[in-house]
Amino acid sequence: MAVETTTRAKLRWGLLDVLVVVFALIPVLWIASLSFKTPATLTDGKFFPREWTLDNYKTIFETDQFVRALINSIGIALIATLVAVVLGAMAAYAISRLDFPGKGLLVGVSLLIAMFPQVSLVSPLFEIERQLGLFDTWPGLILPYITFALPLAIYTLSAFFKQIPWDLEKAAKMDGATQAQAFRRVIAPLAAPGLFTTAILVFIFCWNDFLFAISLTSTERSRTVPAALSFFTGASQFEDPTGAICAAAVVITVPIILFVLFFQRRIVSGLTSGAVKG
């Protein structure tokens, strides 16, 4: 009896699981499927390709437009992530371990920014960046990315830092460690997972942005892939860009899938502890 009910419960849960997985994956599989279709079968309306080809991928990697955008995307997201995590870690350390007036204000301000309507910044930033010569440059995108990634970084990192048993530092000193050794060999290894998780979340945020990317860029010089996608025309003006767009879309989805596959646990813990989306 008991065995039977648990099997049935398992079946029921399994069914729900399948539902979730299918729901989550269909759009991704669909765009991947499109990217492998030949131009002839592209408009057959079938979910899975009848003829497979890699031509779409060849095409995009041969066009400067995409390669350039990919480099921009990677470079801008990496730099913004690096800076946001370093600045965020400093602030989060202070918030989680030190007592100083203005702490509540900082947390409040970063919370406000997390909820800030980004489009409200587009007009003034557009004008300010044009005046400063930052328009259509890497820093022109990196700056707003850092700003909107910082609340996420600060929240997630404070939550992680609060869990570190800082007493270990004392223990390390008793064991004969210098201040630097205690940090390097005891505290740093414990803080690393939190920093890494935060970096992933921040990277996903920067990688994802579209509004700033199309508003604050105008050429291939700094246009990132999401923005470039909407300007995509394929190899020549007269070709249907669908296949190329899908291939490019799949390319920028790959890192996300990899992150999710390998670091699912960490991403979940990071998102739920910080409880903030950028």
Partner 1 sequence: MADIVLDKVSKSFPDGTVAVQDVDLEIADGEFVILVGPSGCGKSTTLNMIAGLEDISSGELRIAGQRVNDKAPRDRDIAMVFQSYALYPNMTVRENMAFPLRLAKLDKETINAKVDEAAKVLELTSLLDRKPANLSGGQRQRVAMGRAIVRQPKAFLMDEPLSNLDAKLRVQMRTVVSRLQKQLGTTTVYVTHDQTEAMTLGDRVVIMRGGAVQQVGPPQELYDHPRNLFVAGFIGSPSMNFLHAAVQDGSLRTALGDVPLGDRVRRELEAADAPRELILGIRPEHFEDAELIDDDTRRRGLEFDAPVEIVESMGSDKYVYFTVEGERASAAELEELAADAGSADFAGAGGNLVTRLSAESPVAEGQSRRVWFNLEKIHLFDPGTGRNLTLHEGRAAGALAD
Partner 2 sequence: MTLPATPTDTAPEKSSASASVPTQRGSRRTAPLSENKKAERKLGWLLCAPAALVMVAVTAYPIIYSVWLSLQRYDLRFPDQREFIGLENYVTVLTNEFWWTAFGVTALITVVTVAVELVLGMGLALIMHRTLVGRGIVRTSALIPYGIVTVVAAFSWRYAWTPGTGYLADLFSDGAPLTERASSLAIIMLAEIWKTTPFMALLLMAGLALVPEDLLKAASTDGATAWQRFTKVMLPVMKPAILVALLFRTLDAFRVFDNIFVLTAGGNETSSVSMLAYNNLIRGLNLGIGSTMSVLIFITVAIIAFVFVKLFGTAAPGSDDGERR
Residues 188-227 touching partner 2, rule: CB under 8 A, are: 188, 191-192, 195-196, 199, 204, 207-208, 210-211, 214-215, 225-226
Nearer to partner 1, 46 or 184 (CB): 184
Asked whether the CA dihedral 190, 78, 130, 214 is positive or negative, the reply is negative
Distances (CA, A) of 274 to 69, 89, 151, 269: 31, 13, 9, 8
**In the complex, least distance from residue 235 CB atom to partner 2, rounded to whole angstroms:** 18
> In the bound complex, what is the minimum distance in angstroms from residue 10's beta carbon to partner 2?
5
For residue 123, the minimal CB distance to partner 1 (Å) is 49
**Residue 207 near which of partner 1, partner 2, none (CB within 5-8 Å, type-dependent):** partner 2
Q: Does 252 bind partner 2 (CB under 8 A)?
A: yes
Q: Quick one: what does residue 195 bind among partner 2, partner 1, none, with the CB cut-off 5 to 8 Å set by partner type?
A: partner 2
Find the shortest distance in angstroms from Cβ 19 to partner 1: 35
Classify burial at 66, counting beta carbons within 10 Å of its beta carbon; exposed 0-12, middle 13-18, buried 19 or more.
buried
Check binding of 183 to partner 2 (CB under 8 A).
yes
Q: How far is the CB of 217 from partner 1 (least distance, A)?
A: 43
Partner from partner 1, partner 2, none contacting 172, C-beta within 5 to 8 A by type: partner 1
Minimum distance between the CB of residue 52 and partner 2, rounded to whole angstroms?
Answer: 17
Measured CA to CA, the distance from residue 102 to residue 200 in angstroms comes to 29
Give residues 84-113 in contact with partner 2 (rule: CB under 8 A): 85-91, 93-95, 97-104, 106-113
By rule CB under 8 A, what count of residues binds partner 2? Answer: 118
181 binds, among partner 1, partner 2, none (CB under 5 to 8 A by kind): partner 1
